[in-house]
């Protein structure tokens, strides 16, 4: 009988070295394009320098003190919060409705899925230009429809009271497809047997949604809520293309204030401080969401 030959296990130090080599490219790219720029921004926020980068000097918390004592910064923070509080609920409701509609197969479901997911495929610039045409004060399709039904045309993007909510609706529309994809995946993981058992027990559709769909969808719903809220606080493209922070700075949210101070006011160090504060605010908001809403998530 021929003796079996066993392969000797490799030393642990070789396995550790192999794992290190496999993750090294990703770690290097992460450090080069994310960590180093972030550290550079933090360093710049504690400095002041000339227009072309000369005469750099360390000033400590001067930029942060000016930032928190500025009325324009408080206005931008309030605009960002209002913007997010409109975008997040609207986008979640639309995405959940779309996901409930297309999660289960029925005749023609592919057409509906394509229509909903098109918002994800359309570039921000194309969507912004299209919405600019639709909402134009003179001849825009939306105002033409309002006049057709006997209502007055509205200055959607040129009125300080309407511009921010209008941009929030556009932003929510653009994000529905992405959020619906995640929610649809979560809905398809719920066993169909639970709904059949609930129907046998006489549960109505609202009761099935409340006691089956929402609890089992809560992990996906929590993730989508977190992503949508944080993404709404960093929306930039549609604001830049449609209003450029106006009118009367009503749409100058925090991220757009950073852009203006860095590239138009040439206050690079001050803009770096604004970016650091925004990053910390996003971390705190994410932590608060985990703290207050994470306990309500059912993972089993």
For the chain, what are the domain ranges? 65-296
- The helix (run of H) or strand (run of E) holding residue 57 is strand 57-58
Q: How far apart are CA 39 and CA 107, in angstroms?
A: 53
Per-residue pLDDT of the chain (300 residues; tens, 9 = 90+): 444 555 555 566 677 788 888 888 888 888 888 888 889 889 999 988 766 666 778 888 999 999 999 999 999 999 999 999 999 999 999 999 989 888 877 777 778 778 878 878 888 889 998 999 999 888 889 999 999 999 899 999 999 999 999 999 999 999 998 999 899 989 988 888 988 999 988 889 889 998 889 889 988 999 999 999 999 999 999 999 999 998 999 999 999 999 999 999 889 999 999 999 999 999 999 898 888 877 667 655
pTM passes above 0.95: no
CATH architecture assigned to 65-296? Orthogonal Bundle (1.10)
């Amino acid at each position: 009988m021929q003796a079996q030959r066993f392969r000797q296990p490799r030393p642990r130090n070789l396995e550790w070295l192999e794992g290190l080599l496999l993750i090294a490219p990703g770690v290097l790219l992460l450090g080069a394009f994310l960590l180093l720029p972030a550290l550079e921004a933090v360093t710049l926020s504690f400095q002041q320098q000339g227009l072309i980068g000369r005469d750099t000097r360390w000033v400590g918390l001067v930029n942060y003190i000016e930032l928190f004592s500025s009325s324009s910064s408080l206005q931008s923070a309030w605009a960002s919060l209002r913007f997010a509080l409109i975008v997040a609920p609207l986008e979640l409701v639309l995405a959940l409705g779309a996901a409930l509609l297309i999660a289960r197969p029925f005749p023609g479901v592919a057409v509906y899925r394509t229509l909903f997911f098109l918002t994800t495929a359309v570039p921000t610039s194309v969507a912004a230009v299209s919405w600019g045409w639709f909402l134009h004060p003179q001849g825009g399709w939306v105002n033409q429809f309002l006049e057709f039904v006997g209502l007055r045309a509205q200055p959607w993007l040129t009125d300080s009271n309407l511009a921010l909510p209008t941009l929030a609706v556009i932003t929510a529309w653009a994000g529905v497809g992405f959020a619906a994809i995640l929610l649809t995946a979560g809905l398809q993981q719920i066993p169909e047997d639970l709904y059949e058992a609930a129907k046998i027990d006489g549960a109505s559709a609202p009761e099935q949604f409340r006691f089956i769909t929402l609890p089992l969808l809560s992990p996906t719903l929590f993730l989508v809520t977190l992503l949508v809220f944080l993404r709404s606080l960093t929306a930039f493209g549609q604001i830049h293309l449609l209003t450029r922070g106006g009118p009367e700075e009503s749409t100058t949210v925090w991220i757009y204030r950073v852009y203006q101070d860095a590239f138009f006011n040439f206050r690079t160090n001050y803009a770096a401080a604004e970016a650091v504060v925004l990053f910390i605010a996003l971390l705190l908001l994410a932590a608060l969401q985990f703290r207050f809403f994470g306990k309500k998530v059912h993972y089993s």
